[in-house]
Amino acid sequence: MPKMKTHRALAKRVKITAKGKIKMNHSGKSHLLACKEKDRKRRLRKAVMANSTLTKKVKRLLPYAF
């Protein structure tokens, strides 16, 4: 059976922590920033941990990360 391929686009966007959680950045920080509140833009700077539903999808796309 051949090796499974890693989804390279996702691998560049997420990091796996030592305990196996998925760390990623918020979306919505690239354009149309003039209409967004400064508090909202500040919150978008911080990284966030993925929820359990998203974790299942990521584990399938990154087979060798865990």
CA dihedral 16, 18, 21, 24 (to 10 degrees): -40
Chain-centre distance for alpha carbon 50 = 7
How high is the mean pLDDT of the chain?
95
| For range 10-19, the mean pLDDT | 95
The domains of the chain are located at 8-61
**CATH code reported for the domain at 8-61:** 4.10.410.60
pLDDT confidence of residue 66: 84
CA dihedral 23, 26, 31, 33 (to 10 degrees): -130
Among 24, 31, 30, residue whose Cα is nearest residue 58: 24
Report whether pLDDT(25) > 90: yes
pTM here?
Answer: 0.79
| For range 9-23, the mean pLDDT | 95
Report whether pLDDT(14) > 90: yes
pLDDT confidence of residue 1: 86
